[in-house]
Chains A and B, each alone.
Chain A
Amino acid sequence: MNKSFTNNNEWSEIIEPKRSLLDLKLKEIWRYKDLVMMFVRRDFVSQYKQTILGPIWLFIQPIFTTFIFLFVFNRIAKISTDGINPTLFYLSGITIWTYFADCLNKTSTTFISNANIFGKVYFPRLVTPISIIISNLLKLGIQMLLLTIVFVIFFILGYQKFTINITILLVPVYIIIMAILGFGLGIIFSSLTTKYRDLSYLLVFGIQLFMYATPVIYPLNSTSEKLRNYLLFNPITSIVENFRYSLFSQGEFLIGGMIYSLAISLVVLIIGVILFNQVEKSFMDTV
């Protein structure tokens, strides 16, 4: 009756010290898709419980930032907006930039802020950053709605012509590239910060500085030729520029830049996922 077996296939799982670099367990993540949605819901619902304004806060944040940018960069510093209505110029830049910054910011603390729950239950750790990307997508959706409303109001009032062109159909692509890049960088940082906390400090002001290296408050073609070449190294530059081109038909459409951004994003994503998977097995001992 005690037939000895050497067949390992009988075991449904083998817990081992290290797993291969490319064993990404994507199937397992799919099995936990309900958990992803549950986390998204939790983030969204819990964030605005016991607030009076609730999700209206999502409007207030970009509106105020736009006002400040208008005041500081337009009125005081008199930085050109390339003939685009300054309010729409800043609002559009903030909307798409904020999505990237939030994705990066929130996913970069995955391990540290979830150490409590990760220390007790196993589920594929990638579920957490994925849910962050999705809940930020909802936030982006609401802020896109704000941008649309402001655009329509300005159009009706005659401040803005109907400048939207066919490339507007590429907006989902812009968002996907932003999401991949924010996610990839975020999980790289979250993996490294489990051991070296210094990086979390670096990231906080790093994101702020990064915004100035991206044409959010200035148009790309207001910069010098030399500076422009440096700026184009930044994979987000062409996304922000192309997003504005789609809305305002101003500046130029950087098709090569977009392909470059996509390529960089995918490389970052792959490095991130591999690193994340290596760290997730033992981070409880070092966090």
Chain B
Amino acid sequence: MSDIVIKVENLSKQYRLGKVGTGTLTQDINSWWSRIRGKEDPTLKIGEKNDRTSKGESEYVWSLKDINFEVKQGDTLGIIGKNGAGKSTLLKILSKVTAPTTGKIKVKGRIASLLEVGTGFHPELSGRENIFLNGAILGMSKNEIKKKFDEIVDFSGVERYIDTPVKRYSSGMYVRLAFAVAAHLESEILIVDEVLAVGDAEFQKKCLGKMSDVSSKDGRTVLFVSHNMATINKLCKNSILLEQGTILKQGITKDVIPYYLSPTQSENMITHVKYDIDNSKPFQITEIKLTNQDGNIFNNGIITDVDDFYVDISYLFNQKIHKCHLTLIARNSMAETVFFIDRTDFHKDFFNADIGSYKTRIKIQNPLLKEGEYYLSFGLSDNQTGVNAHKFDVIKFKIEFLKSTRNTRDGFLYLPKEWQMLKL
């Protein structure tokens, strides 16, 4: 007996871009005609990679192309990828909302999907009625819901309002109730998509706890989609990374997340970037360097815990801008923000920029960061118009400790500021 509960084989999904309408009838007749003659559907031959940024030639794109993976029972699988990578399409096919174009998925057990909580909630009905309605939509029988009713109400924490129409609920209460119903589903496989984006911190924690319970205690399988790498890292042992409809990397979550951050995954560090000057833009970042005290670039990208380092940012204004703002964000290889500093930390207000070039030097005093790889992002923006010239994850460097004992400690930062001891 194998313990694989989901097996995805050569799964592909094709979408037609642009408007559905004119031409659909002829197209339909075309593909129908070739199908009855037993030939290959002509529309399936075409189609290109799903890259939303470039203008493609064909009207058809492959939102998913030849996806293969397996999920074991009791596993929590994270699905990550940038917007448009095909995550939602995959979940939609898994939850049978739409059918694949080719390929198949074999499933063992009932699948319940939480593509968005509160689906089918009717605003005029009370919380109680909606629990039954929503439960039934998600595939529970009346008796199952009755059995779990108290548990659901208790988990949601909206007992007082249970007989009030849900249109009077706050959005937080609404989500709490909806998640509570879904979390008590008796399905073997649960699909969750970004539901944790709402609700207060306390409830979010409760949801995460419930989800890990579901997989570890009940032995149920969870597929989880999120953009929050910290949550994925916490919840999911294994992950798959989708990019442009194909699986770029699959395996242990810890190994997959770095690919999400820099898909090229080159071993090279980047400590110096220069951008071409474009006079049509109101302002831009022209150069970023990671240097030591003397202004020399860290060529190998390795900074030790005894080096202080400097971030030199050069930027250019082609016109006068009021209310300018500059930000520096450092993220670690798990995409967690380690620190976020901006100009207002040091100066009282935004600055007014005249035409010309500027340079900002930011000193980072070591030891500060733990060992590992870090990415720096820069934000230069005009707070009046909202125009920005951001650069994401453009600098990459590595921190190495000379004193190795420090690295076994937990935490993001290493901060030996002051330590006094007195004998009293």
Residues 79-110 of A at the B interface (beta carbon under 8 Å): none
Task: Identify which of A11, A17, A42, A46 contacts B106 (C-beta below 8 A).
Answer: A11
Q: Determine if B113 and A38 form an interchain contact, defined as CB atoms under 8 angstroms apart.
A: no
Shortest CB-to-CB span from B315 to chain A, Å, is 44
14 residue pairs A–B, Cβ–Cβ below 8 Å? A11-B7, A15-B106, A17-B104, A38-B137, A41-B129, A117-B119, A119-B115, A120-B97, A121-B113, A196-B24, A196-B25, A281-B98, A282-B98, A285-B16
- The answer on a CB contact under 8 Å between A14 and B92 is no
Q: Inside 8 A of B133's CB, which chain A residues have their CB?
A: 38-39, 42
A46 nearest CB neighbor, chain B only: B124
Given the known interface contacts A13-B107, A46-B122, A121-B113, the answer about A34 and B136 at a Cβ–Cβ threshold of 8 Å is yes
A142 at interface (Cβ–Cβ under 8 A)? no
A16-B99, A17-B99 known; A35 and B2 CB under 8 Å? no
Q: Is the CB of B107 within 8 A of A14?
A: yes
List residues 105-127 of chain B with CB under 8 A from any CB of chain A. Answer: 105-111, 113, 115-116, 119-120, 122, 124-125
Q: Chain A: which residue is nearest B165 at the CB level?
A: A49
Asked if A122 is at the interface (CB within 8 A of a chain B CB), the reply is yes
Interface-located stretch among B138-146, B257-265, B283-291: B138-146
> Is there an interface contact between A3 and B124, defined as CB atoms closer than 8 Å?
no
B53-110 with Cβ < 8 A to chain A: 92-110
Check if B174 is an interface residue, CB within 8 A of chain A.
Answer: no
**Is B350 an interface residue, CB under 8 A from the partner?**
no
Most chain B CB atoms below 10 A, which of A10, A38, A119: A38
Q: Find chain A residues with CB under 8 A from B95 CB.
A: 121-122
What residue of chain B has the Cβ atom nearest to residue A28's Cβ? B139
B15 at interface (Cβ–Cβ under 8 A)?
yes
Q: Smallest CB-CB separation from B103: which chain A residue?
A: A17
How many residues from A make CB contacts under 8 Å with B? 40
Q: Is A42 touching B122 in the complex (CB atoms < 8 A)?
A: yes
In chain A, what residue has the closest Cβ to B123?
A46
Among A11, A32, A38, which residue has its beta carbon within 8 angstroms of that of B107? A11
Name 7 extra pairs, CB < 8 A, besides A45-B125, A46-B122, A285-B98: A13-B107, A14-B106, A15-B100, A35-B137, A46-B124, A46-B125, A284-B92
A13-33, CB under 8 A of B: which get 1 and which 0?
111111000000000000110
Residues of A within 8 A of B103 (CB): 17
Shortest CB distance B213–A (Å)? 23
B113 touches A122 (CB 8 A): yes
Closest A residue, CB atoms, query B137: A121
Shortest CB-to-CB span from A53 to chain B, Å, is 16
Interface size on B, residues (CB 8 A): 48
Known contacts A17-B101, A117-B120; is-contact A32 B125 (Cβ 8 Å)? no
Q: Give complex CA distance A34, B25 in Å.
A: 38
B1, CB-defined interface residue at 8 Å: yes
Task: Output the least CB separation between B187 and chain A (Å).
Answer: 11
How many Å from the CB of B273 to the closest CB on chain A?
Answer: 41
Please list the 8 inter-chain residue pairs (A to B) with the smallest Cβ-Cβ separation, ordered nearest first: A122-B96, A281-B99, A35-B136, A15-B105, A11-B106, A46-B124, A120-B119, A120-B115
A12 touches B137 (CB 8 A): no
Residue of B nearest to A280 (CB): B99
Any chain A CB within 8 A of the CB of B20?
A: yes
CB-nearest residue of chain B to A34: B142
With known contacts A10-B108, A11-B108, A45-B125, A121–B20 Cβ distance under 8 A:
no
| B132 at the binding interface (Cβ < 8 Å) | yes
- Inter-subunit contact A15/B119 (CB<8 Å): no
A117 near B97: Cβ-Cβ < 8 Å: no
Q: Contacts of A116 on B, CB cut-off 8 Å?
A: 119
A2 in the interface (beta carbon within 8 A): yes
Q: Is the Cβ of B108 less than 8 Å from the Cβ of A284?
A: no
- Encode contact with A along B144-173: 1 for CB under 8 Å, 0 otherwise: 000000000000000000000100000000
Docked Cα-Cα span, A10 to B113, in Å, equals 22
B124→A117 contact, CB < 8 A:
no
- Please measure, in the bound complex, the distance between the C-alpha atom of A68 and the C-alpha atom of B129, giving whole angstroms: 39
Q: Is A71 an interface residue (CB 8 A)?
A: no
Q: Are B136 and A17 in contact (CB under 8 A)?
A: no
Complex Cα distance A63/B383, Å?
64
Query: Contact between A121 and B115 (Cβ–Cβ < 8 Å)?
Result: yes
Residues on the B chain within 8 Å of A230, using CB: none
Q: Specify which chain B residues have a CB less than 8 angstroms from the CB of A118 in the assembled complex.
A: 97
A40 to chain B, nearest CB (A): 11
Known: A2-B2, A5-B2. Is A16-B96 also a contact (CB below 8 A)? no
Measured in the bound complex, the distance between the Cα atoms of B111 and A34 in whole Å is 18
